[in-house]
Amino acid sequence: MNLHPLFRKTLVIFLWLLIWEAISQTVGNSILLVGPINVMYTLAAQIPTADFWKTIFGSLGKISLGFCLAFLSGIFLGILAFRFSFLKELLAPLVSLMKSVPVASFVILALIWIGSKQLSVFISFMVVFPIIYLNTLAGLRSTDPALLEMSQVFRIPFFRKIRFLYLPSLMPYLISGCQVALGMSWKSGVAAEVIGTPAYSIGKQLYLSKTWLDTGNLFCWTLVIILVSSAFERLVLFLLKHIPQGTPYKEEKT
């Protein structure tokens, strides 16, 4: 029986919700595990409140700011490192350090340096930057050398070379890097908020849920994280995939 993909996906989600509710009823302890119905009741009770939206936009603004700063600087420095090998060698130890040092260590240092208010901005930046930087380098290196040589022979203008040679090679790597970086920015950003507990942040709500043993509230905010981060990811990837670019194998129509 052939079912519509959307219907199949909805059916699978509904099946897992039933399993979740059944396990919750079997456990019979709301501190250990709450069911999806209780989670939805908790979410519905919080949606009309102003603090709920302040918390969402507080975390969204800071984490997205950290991501955007890392995205722009990662591309900029990646281009410069591709052009100047000395800069690539200079940045290599720093990028390696950012990749290998645990997020918890960065969080503690950031609390000492800048306090908790801008903590998630800093942590999101530190996690996202090496991913974007390395994918930018890899994308630019993948540009076909034969096409670059041809562009020099025919003296193709600089901006046409970027659009028709470098950009088509870079975009698959950039999109792939963003798919990883977007999820990591939210995981690390919220984890930093749990430790720093800044005002009006999702991380603080998760911390308070743990303190009060409020599992329903914990699942509610976890659901919010999934929904908001998914929406942010879709927006960023949509914008990236619609950046105008040419293909090196076709002439631009005049």
Q: What pLDDT, in 10s, does the model give residues 96-108?
A: 999 888 888 888 8
Which of 78, 88, 64 has the alpha carbon at shortest distance from 169?
78
- Residue 178, domain member (yes or no): yes
pLDDT digits (tens, 9 = 90+) for 16-45: 999 999 999 998 888 889 999 999 999 999
pLDDT digits (tens, 9 = 90+) for 231-246: 999 999 999 888 776 6
C-alpha 241: how far from chain center:
16
- Residue 88, domain member (yes or no): yes
pLDDT of residue 151: 67
| Residue numbers of the domain that contains 64 | 34-241
- Residue 17, domain member (yes or no): no
Q: Please give the tally of structural domains in the chain.
A: 1
pTM score of the predicted model: 0.87
- Residue 20, domain member (yes or no): no
pLDDT digits (tens, 9 = 90+) for 124-174: 999 999 999 999 999 988 877 776 667 666 677 666 777 777 788 889 999
CATH number (domain holding residue 149): 1.10.3720.10
C-alpha 17: how far from chain center:
26
Contact 209, 217 (CB under 8 A): yes
Structure confidence at residue 249 as a pLDDT band (50, 70, 90): very low
- Residue 122, domain member (yes or no): yes
